[in-house]
Every structure is written in structure tokens, then in C-alpha cells.
Structure 1
Amino acid sequence: MYTSINPQLKSKFFVSPAEIRRAIYVHFIPDQIHLFLHKKGLGLSACVQRDKDGHPNCIERCSSTYPLTYPPASCSIYTLRLRSSWGSHWRCEESVKTDGNITAEALLLACKRMCIDVVEMMADIAVFQINDLDMLRILVLHSSVLKPGRSSTFASTFLSCVLPSLKELHISLRLSLSIYGALENAGNSTGSESSSMDHSISAWTGLRPAIERLGNLRRLRIWLDHGEPCSWSMVNERAVLSPLAPLSNNPNLDISIDLPKLHPKWENPDRHFTEDSPPLTLTIHRRYRQRYHGVESSDGSIDAKHDPDFPILYEVADLYYMTMEIVEEMERASWQRGEDPIKEFLDDSIVCSLPTI
């Protein structure tokens, strides 16, 4: 298959059984690997996300030096984490900027034979994570050339080995509203968009055919959000996600899409996948969106702002020993009546607390 690769038959390591080599490699390969671009080309980093890193109250993003002042409105580390384009993988983004490479990368640089061995095993046992459109565009471009062979760059060699065998791919994108707007109008493009916006559009619109070319892919997870404090409901979900619907025709591919919950005041069956509108043929999971945001002030400073999406009564569940289902139902009914759910809840609480005469 790789006729141009020296088989390294003089090496005792490579004449040993493949099972032994794989047993050694597995100790150096993380369960999840982020792919990202930097000035030197393609980078690989282990996923270090923790269970509560995506908690809507953003508690884990607080620096350990601010344990008693949550939320620390002026803590630069905290506000930068709130603005991370990697979303709930903000810890992984920090790791990339500090530690960077995974241990296995040393094996990739040893020789081409070992590189191919390790990369093919990565594709077989690891989950690959993509967190920005630039990296997604590179994947889309390389998916059309899946034949391994001579290559002038590490990125090309790596992806030509990984993609044909890739089993699981996670895509987490926290994009600007302007990009979502461009994706919504991609079919009506006038050609006047900037080159960077064109690249963003092509990365997303090329995703479906790219996935269809990955014949061994068995699981695809897509996580989406935008980077503004306003509601997720400002995004036209149908325009963005409907092009992916044909992927449901592949019975061997398990696909799920993770989206923030819709706000009852802004949800629209023409723009969103609501309970009463035609569903997407792909599985959608709804989550609570982060409730604190890093907002840039006029003087350039970044402060934390509490600007929650639905349900705004999220904290009520713990304070009043209510289930989130009841809180959501109560708030949804309030919005549908055109009322302010906070005012209604406070008024009801006052009435309920009055003594019976």
C-alpha cells in the first residue's frame, strides 16, 4: 500500500509482530485528540476536558485564585475562558497554548514507517476533535484525496493516513453570528463576501460530502454555539443544518447534533427545529447554554456579564427544590402569555409566602 516507504526491516522493532507494536503505541495515544492549525502547520493535542467544563454557570472557568468571589467579573483568565472559541473545550485550548503537542507526536517524527503505524492506530482507537472552521476546511479538502503517497507536508501525510481509517469525529464550533448569517444566505451568495468568509462557508458546506467520503467513519458528533450573549435562537438552525440531513441515509453512521435550548420568545418553526415543526432527520440534543459571557467594554477591557438564555430562571431549581422540567414549563408558559417570568415568579413567591388569615 505504501510502496514508497522504507519497511525498516533491519530494525528489530519493525520485524516484531504488529500486535506487539500496537501494544506499545497504545500507551502514547490519547483517547481524544484535537487537530488544530498553528504557524508551523498541523498540531495535535490531547483532550483535557473535564466533566463540568461545559456547566452553564461556568464555575470551572474560575481561576483557583478566585474561590470566594464567583463570578469574578474582572478576572482576565475567567473572562477569556468565557470567550473561548473552543466552547466547553476551553481547557484544551489553553493546553494547546502551553503544552501543545501530545507525546505520540515524537513517534510520528521518528520515521515514516512508525508514523504510518501510529497514525493508522490513532484513527482506529482515538476520537478526533475539530474546533474551528480553518481546521475543518483542511479536513474537507483532504477528504477528496484519500490515497496515501508522497507528500511534502506533515499535515498531508498525517491526514492521508488518518482519514481513510477514521472511526469517530467530533466537531465543536462556536462561531460568530456573522458567520451563521453567511451560512444562512450561502445559497444566495453574490460573490462579494471576503475571502475569509468564503473559506468559512466552504468549510461548512463541504462537510456533508467530506463525511460521505469517509467510508470507515462510524460516529459523528457536532456541537454548535455562537459567541454572543444574545439567545441561540438568533441563529437559523434550519438553514445551517438542513444540508447535513442526507447523512441520515447512511445506516452505519451514528450522528448526533448538540444545540442550545431554544428561547420560547424567539423560537420560530420556519427557522428552528421546534417540537411542533418538521424535525431534522438527524438526532438533536438540547443543552443549557453558558449563562456568563465575556463582554468587551468601550475601553477595551473584558468583563463577565450574566446574560442567560432560556431558562432565565435556571437558578430557581436549586433555590426552591424544583426540577428543571417544572422550571422550564413554568417559564415557557410565562413567555407564551407575554409576561415577564421573573416578575411572575417573584409575585407568586410573595403571595405564597403571605400568612393565611
Structure 2
Amino acid sequence: MHSNRAHCSPFLQKSVMPFTRTLSPLLPKYLLSGKIVISRCLEPGVLNDRHADSKLRPKEGDGLEVIWGRRLSSTWASHWQCEEIALESEENEDGPEFSVGGGRTTAALLCACKRLQADIGLFIVRSVTLYVTDLEILQHLSDLYSGSQNWISPYSVLFTEIQLLRSLDITLRLPFLLLRALGIKGVMQGTSVSRAAEMHTRESEREWVSAWMRVWSSLAPRLPELRRLNIWLDHDDSKSWTVLNERAILSPIITSISPTTSDSLQDVTLSLPKTHPRYEHPERHYLPSGPPPPPYVTIERLLRRMLHYEETRPGTFEVVYKPDFPAPLDLIDFSTECRPDLDPIRIAEEIERTERVAWGMGEDPQWEIMGLQNGWMGRDSERYPPMVLGVSRRFECYGTIWRDLGEPRQNNNAHF
């Protein structure tokens, strides 16, 4: 497959360019019958949008609540539309959209002949961003040269040239129990993989802990030309991200994939949920008050989803509203509806800053935030006492089955 060639002819580059433009936001991969299949990737939405959860709700059709819940629970996160395409392709009797004979132009080119397939594949793999949405897929990539892979797509040539990949984007919404297990004492430093695995009682946890700790060190030597790595990480539960030990979770990534292991690496971006000031600690989280990450690592904090699809009673699943931090962001819409001249970005910044300061002082931030709102509205705080934030407005705006938590959480038993 000509894996030793660095580039193809300028003529071929010019000829293939129109097709790579449509291919560059491609390739979240999934497993079908034990084989890797490639599906089309839509440009993912912005995960830092406070309205992102409600935008996932279908506008019409049967089973709206179930579809909405599936999208909210998708392990593909912002790639939920890609997952739906993959599921539709799987149900199609003709097979996955990009399987051989699928009728797509680029796929047809890759099927034309082995020489053209190799040249096009070589050019594409150096041009695209590869999106991965599954830990098991990462394991397959790290074991790429074992010879055990079964490829059923014309794009299989891309993975014979995977060592030339320059841009990798990983989106993982993993089980909460797995990430909590990774954060136990001793996993981050000074404990072997086998010993760490023994500290867990569930076999599935032991397997996934071992997989997480091994996959990054195995993946690094497979990607010697990697320049950009972006990882979006969260868990699948309504609990705050902050109860986890993110330093322990991220340690295998940061220590395994670096300019030392990949000479071409320029930037590693880790997209993580915002930390809650009530539970955060510099020993467990990357905070301004604690040791910083390595210089090549950028950590960006994003809003965590506020809606979750949960079993509220046996056999009944509902969309529930459980904001993390900052919590009362619905005040932004309420305030700007009353005062269109207010800047929503400035309001969001003030809410987050006020809530963080209050929690840092051990106080309930509800009074302070309501005081902010009264100031925006020009109202007297004594006449407008604080209310349970976000309850009535959300029922009125969205009109669906919601269970509101009411008072702020009082449970101090964080799982670290």
C-alpha cells in the first residue's frame, strides 16, 4: 500500500482536492458485527451553548421524548447526528453509507484501482481530521498493526496509512463508574496497571480501567506525525464532573502523548466541564491555584449539559433538569427578555463570578445572584426575595416532562 511514501504527485493533489473538502469533517467510526465501519460526519454543534440540550429535542413526530432522551444520552455527545446517520445506515439493507458499492463519489474513486486507492488514501489521511467517539475504537487504532482488523469499507486504506495522520479529534462520554475508578488513590502514580485493576470489584470496571491506562501509551507510537490532538471528555451521569479526580483521569494521556513521544506534536487541547467551586480542589483538578498542565496542553472549560434522561421511577424515563455550574443561567434569558439592552455575555460572566465567590465563602449564592437580577431589573431586593431559580420559567418555556430539583443540592459526600 505504499506506506513509505511521503506524498503523491501535484497533479493528483489538485485532482483529489475537491473530494477531500467534502471528506475533511468525516470519520467518526463505530463497530458493526465486530468490524470497523466509517460513517459520514456532520460538523458538530457548539458544546458550550446553554441552549444546546433543548435544541436536541425533535420538533415533530412520534416518540419525541424517547428520541430526545436518546440524543441527550448519546455517548457521541456533539456527534449525536452522526450516530443517527450510523444507525440508519446499519438498518439499511444496502449496508453502511460508505461501504463498498455505496455509490458515493469518493468511495467510487477509492474502489477504482489499487494504485489510485493508495495515492488518494495517502493524500486524504494527511489532510483530514479523524474523529473518534469510542474507547474501543481507540484500542483498535492502537493495535493497528496486529493484522487482526477486518475492514469492510473503501476507506480502509486510510488506516493502513494511519501513521501519517496529523489531526485527531476524540469525543468520549464515558461511564461515571469508570472515571471514578480511574480516580482512586494510587492509580495516578506508583501503582501498576494490574494492581490498580485489582482494586475494583466489577470485572467490567477492571477491563476498562486497564484499557484506559494502556491505550494512550500504545497509541502514541502509532502516530509519529500527529500535530494536533483535541479530546472532549465527560461522563454519562447527572453528578457533577467535579466529584471526579480529573488529574488522575488525564494523567495517562498527558504522560503518553507529548512532544517527547510524538516529535511533530504542537498542541493538545482537553475540553472538560467547568468545575464546581463547592467541590473543586487543586490536588484533583487543574485550577489556577494548583500545578498547571504541561506547556503543550491547553485546558478549556465548557458548560456541562443541564438536561439528563433518567429513570425517575421503575420503568419510567424522563428528561430532568439538573444544572451543574453555573446553575441559574436561565436568568440570562429572563433578564434579556425584560431588558433587551442587557448583554447576555456580561450577565453570564457576572452570574458565574458571583456564584463562584459565594460558594468559595461557604454561602448559598441564591441571594447574591437574585440581588444581581434585581439590580438589572432596577427592583428592590426586599420586595422581590429569592426564589427557586429556573423552575417555573422552564416549565413554561419548554412544556415537557421535567422534574425540578428545587433547592440546591445539600449533599457534601462527593465521590473522589
Fold conserved (TM > 0.5)? Answer: yes
Give me the whole-angstrom Cα distance separating, in 2, the residues matched to 1:276 and 1:344: 24
1:224: Cα distance to partner?
Answer: 0.2
Give yes or no for contact 1:33–1:47 (8 Å, CA) kept in 2. Answer: yes
Asked if 1:333 is matched to 2:329, the reply is no
Q: How many residues end up aligned between the 2 structures? A: 335
Which one is further off, 113-122 or 327-336? 113-122
Give me the whole-angstrom Cα distance separating, in 2, the residues matched to 1:53 and 1:151: 36
Give me the whole-angstrom Cα distance separating, in 2, the residues matched to 1:197 and 1:106: 42
* Residue of structure 2 in register with 1:179 after alignment: 178
Give the letter aligned to residue 249 of structure 1.
P
Give the letter aligned to residue 290 of structure 2.
S
* Residue of structure 1 in register with 2:379 after alignment: 353
* Residue of structure 2 in register with 1:9 after alignment: none
Asked if 1:189 is matched to 2:191, the reply is no
Deviations 1:268-312 (A, max 9, x none): 111111110101112100011111111123332321111011000
* Residue of structure 2 in register with 1:218 after alignment: 227
Task: Give the gaps of 5 or more residues in structure 2.
Answer: 4-8, 90-95, 99-103, 336-341, 383-416
Give the letter aligned to residue 123 of structure 1.
V
Give me the whole-angstrom Cα distance separating, in 2, the residues matched to 1:112 and 1:194: 47
1:152: Cα distance to partner?
Answer: 6.9
* Residue of structure 2 in register with 1:6 after alignment: none
Give me the whole-angstrom Cα distance separating, in 2, the residues matched to 1:236 and 1:152: 34
Task: Give the gaps of 5 or more residues in structure 1.
Answer: 4-14, 67-72
Asked if 1:62 is matched to 2:57, the reply is yes
Give the letter aligned to residue 161 of structure 1.
T
What pairs with 1:139-158 in structure 2 (closer than 5 Å)?
A: 139-142=141-144, 145=145, 153-154=150-151, 158=157
Asked if 1:93 is matched to 2:83, the reply is yes
* Residue of structure 2 in register with 1:127 after alignment: 129
1:341: Cα distance to partner?
Answer: 1.9
Please give the secondary structure, in 2, of the residue aligned with 1:33.
coil
Asked if 1:166 is matched to 2:165, the reply is yes
- Indicate which of 307, 315, 326 corresponds to 2:330: 315
Give yes or no for contact 2:37–2:151 (8 Å, CA) kept in 1. Answer: no
Give me the whole-angstrom Cα distance separating, in 1, the residues matched to 2:30 and 2:129: 14
Give me the whole-angstrom Cα distance separating, in 2, the residues matched to 1:299 and 1:313: 30
Give me the whole-angstrom Cα distance separating, in 2, the residues matched to 1:276 and 1:16: 51
* Residue of structure 2 in register with 1:12 after alignment: none
TM-score by length of 1: 0.81
Identity %: 29
* Residue of structure 2 in register with 1:264 after alignment: 277
TM-score by length of 2: 0.71
Give me the whole-angstrom Cα distance separating, in 1, the residues matched to 2:149 and 2:141: 17
Relative contact order higher in (CA < 8 Å, ≥ 6 apart): 1
Asked if 1:200 is matched to 2:216, the reply is no
Asked if 1:255 is matched to 2:268, the reply is yes
Give the letter aligned to residue 141 of structure 2.
L
